[in-house]
Amino acid sequence: MQENSTVAVPPRGLYAVDSGPARIRIHHLTELKHKRQRITAVTCYDATFARLVDSAAIDVVLVGDSLGNVIQGQETTLQVTVDHIVYHCAAVARGLQRAHLVADMPFMSYRNVDVALQNAGRMLAQGHAHAVKLEGGLEVVPIVEALVAAGIPVMGHIGLTPQSVHALGGNRVQGRGDRQRKRLLQSAQALQAAGCYALVVEAIPAALAQELSAALTIATIGIGAGAGCDGQILVLYDMLGLNPQFKPKFVKHFAQIGEAIVAALGHYKAEVQAGEFPAPEHTYNDPTPVAAVKRQAHG
């Protein structure tokens, strides 16, 4: 590569704000809950977005199996594998300095204790995650206990659990009615007792999420569960409006990045076709001969 063509590496912390601890750890989430400071979380799948997320001082980053939907274009998360999560998690880890990094355990990757230990171990050792997340209630308690005993922090996930989409008869709101409400409260308590350090609660009525959050000492992180949770999580691509057509009730588009990308690509196409891009300032010339540089330096 020519001397005058150094590749620009974006500085870290470009947009950094005063962000508290140097690295968010599992105990910080409980502290934030008890200080009544809401926890912020998003999903992320690559290093470039991870740098931006960290610059915004988001507390928790989840490499979610939602990557099946937003990265792979699948209809469900069931096709996502441990290799996929490890690959994306390692990329995200390279972009993060501050956020707490959680790797999602994909469908069937925690079907028994041995399989769960092996796969969760890979998330931490190869994916550089700080914790794993897994879906389920009372039925996953033995798995959580085994992982926690092995020194692997576990975030639970109850309510709508997308890996059970077919068993649930579709992605629908959970916890409606007394029987489901009781079952969710019981699951949450059991997961906390098993050692989970936080719980994602997805697509449940706001009143139930609030009740759960008040009943637990660990933090709840809600998605489609109202404002009564200790924190909120959204799929990054959803909240950035990367897919403008996808706007379920629980999602807010905090930006219109999808539209901005299409507009930028349109400008690029127009300038290329008009012969306006690349302009002279985007074009490499022969390097200035060393002798000429020396002459300039010595007048």
Minimum gap (Å) between residue 92 Cβ and ligand KIV: 13
Total of chain residues touching ligand KIV, rule CB under 6 A: 10
Minimum gap (Å) between residue 53 Cβ and ligand KIV: 14
3 flagged as catalytic:
no
Interaction between residue 223 and ligand KIV (CB under 6 A): yes
Minimum gap (Å) between residue 247 Cβ and ligand KIV: 15
Of 31, 139, 202, 259, the catalytic one is 202
Site for ligand KIV in 121-180 (CB under 6 A): none
Site for ligand KIV in 171-200 (CB under 6 A): 200
CB count in 10 Å sphere of residue 160: 23
Place of tokens 């579709």: 170
Contact 14, 55 (CB under 8 A): yes
Q: Would you say 132 or 233 has its CB closer to ligand KIV?
A: 233
Residues 200-219 vs ligand KIV: string with x where CB under 6 A?
A: x-------------------
Minimum gap (Å) between residue 69 Cβ and ligand KIV: 8
Distance CA 148, CA 146 (A): 6
Sign of CA dihedral 78, 81, 82, 88: negative
Closest among 77, 99, 78 to 89, alpha carbons compared: 99
Residue 138 has what DSSP assignment?
G
Q: How many CA atoms lie within 13 A of 246 on its CB side?
A: 16
Interaction between residue 86 and ligand KIV (CB under 6 A): no
Interaction between residue 104 and ligand KIV (CB under 6 A): yes
Interaction between residue 233 and ligand KIV (CB under 6 A): yes
Q: How many helices (H) and strands (E) does the chain have?
A: 11, 8
Site for ligand KIV in 20-59 (CB under 6 A): 43
Distance CA 24, CA 22 (A): 7
Give DSSP secondary structure letters for 260-299: HHHHHHHHHHHHHHTT-SS-GGG---PPPPHHHHHHHHT-
Residues 58-77 vs ligand KIV: string with x where CB under 6 A?
A: ----x-xxx-----------
Distance CA 192, CA 196 (A): 5
Q: Would you say 16 or 79 has its CB closer to ligand KIV?
A: 79
Among 58, 194, 235, 242, binds ligand KIV (CB under 6 A): 235
Give the interface with ligand KIV as residue ranges (CB under 6 A).
43, 62, 64-66, 104, 200, 223, 233, 235
Which residues form the catalytic set? 202
